[in-house]
Amino acid sequence: MAGGTVRLVLLVGAAALASGSQGDREPVYRDCVLRCEERNCSGGALKHFRSRQPIYMSLAGWTCQDDCKYECMWVTVGLYLQEGHKVPQFHGKVSLNAWFWSTVFHTRDTDVTEKMDYFCASTVILHSVYLCCVRTVGLQRPAVASAFRALLLLMLTAHVSYLSLVRFDYGYNLAANVAIGLVNAAWWLTWCLRNRQRLPHVHKCIVVVLLLQGLSLLELLDFPPLFWVLDAHAIWHVSTIPVHVLFFRWVLLPARPCLPLRGLCALVTHCPLACNTPPCPQGTLSELCLSGLLPWPTAFWKMTASTC
């Protein structure tokens, strides 16, 4: 028992070595967040922030600190792009947690590791549906995205409570995850088909969705391990890696010529060229570009930065 505990502690410690969130570890990002919180998140500045905050954001629990992190994320992204680096990842450890427990469970099958693997997998699936809602609906209707997030949290709570307190039903767990996965696939495919005329690369998203659904059959149609080593589950894990790379490239592809001006204004507040522009729409880089709300070329960043 003691040996197993020691091994689990060592595995948890090894997770800290994973490179999952390069952006939020950058000194520039952390210094930006610190200065932003000191300037905006106390006293009269905090009252001003709360007075102009939309009701749906306050109901969703969006704080002044969250806003600083959001703004400073774009500042860091802008600096990376200016220096010719790839866009860094921020706060990317939700999925990292799920894959960590998947590794632990596949290494040592116990009641605790099994539940952590299953519950974290369900969390990732529900989170993917939430991100789909944010990317396709939330930009125009943020209140809908907030309400949908609350619904998903209730569903996750009920799912985990049933499996933990009532009965750990493998059939129900599989059916629930497959159902949510099909909702996610249908949602993405509907959005892709509606925007196929406007977005020339949307077919890449369609291919990714169909491939992921096809590969999920490896989880449903199990078979004996090949060479007594590679079973259907292991092959599914390996085969999904290149599919996610393809999806990531599609997300970045339309985002390359775009630039978020909010982060630029936060970085160079003394620059009239940047800050006299019209208010920037909300959303991530890929969301804004995909929706056609931010068709700014990367050259604008370099021009503005040199002018400032």
Q: What is the model's pLDDT at position 228?
A: 74
What is the per-residue pLDDT across 250-290, written as a single tens digit (0 to 9) for each? 766 544 434 444 444 444 333 333 444 444 444 444 444 44
**pLDDT higher at 107 or 300:** 107
pTM of the model: 0.62
The CA distance from 176 to 164, in Å, is: 15
The whole-angstrom separation of Cα 41 and Cα 21 is 24
Q: Which residue has the higher pLDDT, 306 or 171?
A: 171
Which residues face 230 on adjacent strands?
A: 226
Q: What is the pLDDT of residue 282?
A: 41
Give me 241's structure tokens.
Answer: 């890696």
Which positions ≥6 away from 65 have C-beta within 8 Å?
33, 37, 41
pLDDT (tens digit per residue) in 226-255: 887 788 888 888 898 899 888 877 766 544
pLDDT band, very low/low/confident/very high, at 86 (cuts 50, 70, 90): confident
Percent of the chain with pLDDT over 70: 73
DSSP-assigned beta bridge partners for residue 226: 230
Q: Hunting for tokens 């693997």 — which residue is that?
A: 117
Amino acid 253: pLDDT: 59
pLDDT given for residue 12 in this prediction: 52
Asked if residue 56 lies in contact with residue 142, where contact means CB atoms within 8 angstroms, the answer is yes
pLDDT at 90: 79
Helices 2-15 + 94-107 axis angle, to 10 = 150
* pLDDT value at residue 16: 47
Weakest mean pLDDT among 57-71, 159-173, 200-214, 272-286: 272-286
- Mean pLDDT on 181-210: 89
CA angle 296, 49, 23 (to 5 degrees): 50
Q: 272 is written with which tokens?
A: 């009239």
Cβ pair 37, 68 in contact under 8 A: yes
| C-alpha–C-alpha distance, residues 46 and 23, integer Å | 26
DSSP 183-246: HHHHHHHHHHHHTTTT-TTHHHHHHHHHHHHHHTHHHHS--PPBTTTB-HHHHHHHHHHHHHHH
Give, to the nearest 10 degrees, the angle between helix 202-215 and helix 232-252.
170
Q: What is the structure's pLDDT at 164?
A: 94
> What average pLDDT is seen over the chain?
76
156: its two tokens? 């996750």
pLDDT digits (tens, 9 = 90+) for 24-54: 888 889 999 999 999 999 899 999 988 888 8
Q: For residues 163-192, give the mean pLDDT.
A: 92
Give 126-133's long-range contacts (Cβ < 8 A, gap of 24+): 126/152, 126/155, 126/156, 126/180, 127/94, 127/152, 128/184, 129/180, 129/183, 129/184, 129/187, 132/184, 132/187, 132/188, 132/191, 133/187
Proportion of the chain above pLDDT 90, given as a percent: 25
Identify the burial level of 285 via C-beta atoms within 10 angstroms of its C-beta, where 0-12 means exposed, 13-18 middle and 19 or more buried. buried
